Amino acid sequence: MLKKSKIILGALLGALSISTAALAGIITNTGTGTIGGVLLTVTEGVVTFDVQTFAVKKIAFDLNNDEIVTGAKVAKGQIIWMVLYVDNITPGQVSDLRLSDNLNLGPPDVNSFDYDSTFSWKTSPCPAGTCPAMVTSADKKTWFTNVEVWNVLSVGLDVLDTGSIVADLVTIGTNGVQLPVNMTANTRYAYRFKVKIN
């Protein structure tokens, strides 16, 4: 069974929220003024923003880099890829992205997966806020296997990088001494690792 993941923006690990209210929704700011204290000599200036939410997305691939869709049949002992990614489609930096993924949740999924190997990450450009297409399985395979380099992450929770896998828990971003993830504008951030199905 495929597992759910969590995304936390600027919140503690373990929280379920995708973002805070301040980070999601429409916000408006109005500036006012007068000349010589006389009303209506200066008209209002208004600015409105569409504040984006950021969703964590998860894909499983087999070792031929073909998507394993939700509900597909897999075998005990099979090694597969798990991939988590988040798209920053805004032209600004997103600070302190944090992700977590528990490989073995409670019943009925106890002991579902064990980490195997190849913990790594990469980024993909999203020019003009349009990230690489991920609609079809072919799209996903094309993106997964394109020329972008997957950078190795240490499995440990340490100062070496932004990711760790300790026991069953994958964490990305700020966590103790682990380094933060500050997402570059118009960029997809992706993390992958192989797991064994128990």
Q: Shortest gap between Cβ of 48 and Ca ion (angstroms)?
A: 40
Extract the runs of DSSP E, i.e. beta strands, from 38-180.
45-51, 57-61, 79-88, 94-102, 113-125, 151-152, 163-166, 169-172
Q: Which residue has the tokens 């690489």?
A: 132
Of 94, 148, 100, 93, nearest to 121 by C-alpha is 148
Q: Does position 87 bind Ca ion by CB under 5 A?
A: no
x/- map, 95-134, Ca ion, by CB under 5 A:
----------------------------------------
Nearer to Ca ion, 96 or 109 (CB): 96
With contacts defined by CB under 5 A, how many residues of the chain interact with Ca ion? 3
x/- map, 136-175, Ca ion, by CB under 5 A:
------------------x------x--x-----------
How many other C-beta atoms lie within 10 A of the C-beta of residue 162? 23
Give the C-alpha distances (Å, rounded to integers) separating 132 from 14, 155, 171, 195.
29, 28, 24, 25
Nearer to Ca ion, 175 or 186 (CB): 175
Nearer to Ca ion, 120 or 154 (CB): 154
Q: Which residues bind Ca ion (CB under 5 A)?
A: 154, 161, 164
